[in-house]
Amino acid sequence: MTTVQLALSHHWRVPAHVFGVRTSDDVLIVGSRLGDNDPERPAVVLVHGLMGWHAKPKFAVFAEHLSEWFTVYAFDMRGHGGSGGVSDFGGAEIHDVDAVVALARREGHARVVTVGTSQGGIAVLRHAGLLGGVDAVVGISSLAYWDWRDGAEHNARRQLDARIGSRAGRAALRAWGVRLPEDWDEPESPEDVIGKISPTPVVIVHGNDDHLFPPDHARRLYAAAGEPKRLLLGDGFGHAEDGLTPAFGHRLARVIHETLEVSWSE
């Protein structure tokens, strides 16, 4: 199966329209617009994590669930699925986010919110801090700073390093449609730039039981953010896709409506 087929293979249970956009640095980004494209509805630009793609089953089902309340623009980040380029771990991905936000604006949506999980959370927080142009941003299971090697999460960090820092690990990921750089320079971390998001509202969501980025990351992000800001810490949430349940989707939809100060309908 090609990477394009992999990205678009999900059988959507809601109205879906495939799109492709070019980033400012000329990378092709592909995705699907889900749900009613009424410009009166807020748009959610939904961003997956490392080793994900927008049609990955659990992520796709969550996107479908959100389309009950929003027009959802879900896409493959660079280096993943059907999109071009190589992954930058949330660095250059700010241009991917920006291109899809611009698409939602062109299609008439006055209110656009970015929502990202894990690496996607890194990307949306950095995008809102460095490029802006959104009405709210939600970072789910994002790290705060790059070098998290101390404490109980050390083994998880070593496992991740083995995947992305070795030739064998990168080859294994390529088999899953993930393309990684040979070398990588750390860009500004989410903690470095989150203060620049204000006065745009920011919501930080994290699991107290996150096995990769401990909840201290969320607390540091919240402390560094300007107002308005909101911190949601949950038990039994896990990391990123682990917590993408229908119950969480319902709560997230309510939180986004409250953040945008628009009426909410169950």
Amino acid type, 25: D
Report yes or no: 63 and 53 within 8 Å, Cβ to Cβ.
no
Q: Which two tokens stand for residue 85?
A: 């380029």
- pLDDT value, residue 183: 77
Report yes or no: 121 and 221 within 8 Å, Cβ to Cβ.
no
Report yes or no: 59 and 247 within 8 Å, Cβ to Cβ.
no
Of residues 137, 88, 140, 92, the one with CA closest to residue 112:
137
Tally of CB atoms within 10 A around 6 = 18
Report yes or no: 21 and 102 within 8 Å, Cβ to Cβ.
yes
What would the CATH number be for the domain defined by 3-260? 3.40.50.1820
Pairing of strands 71-75, 28-34: antiparallel
CA distance 184 to 154: 21
- pLDDT value, residue 21: 98
Provide the residue-wise pLDDT of the chain in tens; the chain has 266 residues: 444 454 456 789 999 999 999 999 999 999 999 999 999 999 999 999 998 999 999 999 999 999 999 999 999 999 999 999 999 999 999 999 999 999 999 999 999 999 999 999 999 999 999 999 999 999 999 999 987 654 544 555 555 555 565 666 666 677 667 888 877 888 999 999 999 999 999 999 999 999 889 999 999 999 999 999 999 999 999 999 999 999 999 999 999 999 999 987 76
Which DSSP helix (H) or strand (E) runs through 159? helix 154-164
3-state secondary structure of 101: helix
Of residues 95, 107, 108, the one with CA closest to residue 47:
95
- pLDDT value, residue 3: 43
Tell me the CA end-to-end span of the chain in Å, nearest whole number: 39
> Per-domain residue ranges for the chain?
3-260
Q: What is the 3-state secondary structure (H, E, C) of 8-21?
A: HCCCCCCCEEEEEE
Distances (CA, A) of 196 to 101, 127, 141, 199, 224: 18, 10, 20, 8, 9
Pairing of strands 112-117, 71-75: unpaired
Which DSSP helix (H) or strand (E) runs through 45? strand 43-47
Model's pTM, two decimal places? 0.92
CA distance 215 to 223: 13
